[in-house]
A = this chain, B = another copy of it.
């Protein structure tokens, strides 16, 4: 991943917000969607953008797709540096902090529907 490609991943507001959340750890799409309060297509498309460029990984867990940043050991020096820089910058800005706050309010367990049934919601919907 070339340096300029890293910056291309970072040059959209929605993607910045997504990455800021993923810096906290792996997250399924519905949590990202809920935390950003943005429509599903938008989230999904930007995740696709990041994925095709190698900025995020996906794994399947039952009904959910869990996105994560590449494991630390596999990150290039430039990626590590820029992610750290992003995290520092975002930590001081209201919008990013609000996203994190919303994220923490969510029930982070993506449980099978059968488990959640009766509580009126599955996962974070």
Q: A interface vs B, CB < 8 Å?
A: 3-4, 7-8, 10-13, 16, 77-78, 81-82, 85-86, 88-90, 92-93
Contacts and interface: CB of A to CB of B under 8 A. Distances in A.
B12 A10 contact: no
Given A3-B90, A10-B10, 10 more contacts: A3-B16, A4-B16, A8-B11, A10-B11, A11-B11, A77-B92, A78-B89, A81-B85, A82-B85, A85-B85
Number of copies: 2
Interface of A is mostly: helix
Given A85-B82, A89-B81, A4 B13 contact: yes
A93 B16 contact: no
